[in-house]
Amino acid sequence: MKKPFVPTEFVVPLRVEQAGYTLSPLTTAHVDKDYEAVMSSRESLRHIFCEYDTTWPKGSMTLTDNYRDLARHQQEFDERQAFAYTMETPDGQSCIGCVYIYPCQRGNYDAQVYYWVIDSVKPDGLEADLDEFLHRWLKETWPFELPVFPGRGISWQEWEGLNHGI
C-alpha cells in the first residue's frame, strides 16, 4: 500500500493570510485570474519547474487549457495527493502567484515545493517574502521532515542528478 503524502489526521491549511497576500487552494473558480497572471509572466514561469521549459506556459495557451490544469490541481488537492495554492492580493481581486507542494521521489526529500509571483510584483520584494514565509510555514505547519525547493534551494543540476525512488 502506498504511503499517503500527508497523514490522514493532518488538517491541510485552506486559507493563509499574510500582510501582502492570501493563499487558498487553487480551483477552477480561479481560472480567469490565474490565466491572466500566468500569461502576464510567461517567460519567467518557464524557469519554475525546471531550468527552462518551452512547453508551459505556451503563448497559445487558452483559458480552456488553463481550466484543465486547474481542475487537475483541484482534484489532487481534494485527494490529498498534492497541494496547489493560489496567491491573491488581500482583497482577492488579483492572482499574483501560486505555490505547489508535491510528493518527492528524489534523494531524502519528502516534499518538493515550487512557487512563483507575477513579474509586476517582483520589484516589491514579494517573492523574497513568500520564500521566507514558505520555509517557515512548511517547517511549523506541515508534516514534512525535509522539503526541497528545486531551482531555488538546490540547483537544477543537483536536482536532476538526484536518485529517484528512495
- Give domain status of residue 166, yes or no: no
Contact status, residue 35 vs residue 118, Cβ threshold 8 Å: no
- Give domain status of residue 86, yes or no: yes
Give the pLDDT confidence score for residue 11 in this predicted structure.
97
- Give domain status of residue 132, yes or no: yes
Q: What is d(CA 27, CA 86) in angstroms, rounded to the nearest whole number?
A: 8
Cell 490541481 maps to which residue?
73
- Give domain status of residue 38, yes or no: yes
Q: What is the CATH number of the domain that holds 77?
A: 3.40.630.30
Cell 477552477 maps to which residue?
28
C-alpha 165: how far from its chain's center?
22
0.75 surpassed by pTM: yes
Give the pLDDT confidence score for residue 115 in this predicted structure.
98
- Give domain status of residue 7, yes or no: no
Within 10 angstroms of residue 143's Cβ, the number of other Cβ atoms is: 12
Range of the domain at 79: 16-158
Give the pLDDT confidence score for residue 1 in this predicted structure.
55
- Give domain status of residue 11, yes or no: no
> Helix (H, G, I), strand (E, B), or coil: what is residue 117?
strand
In this prediction, the residues of the chain whose per-residue pLDDT falls under 70 are 1-2, 164-166
Work out how many domains the chain is built from and give that number: 1
Mapped to the 3 state alphabet, what secondary structure does 62-111 carry?
CHHHHHHHHHHHHHHHHCCCCEEEEEECCCCCCEEEEEEEEECCECCCCE
- Give domain status of residue 107, yes or no: yes
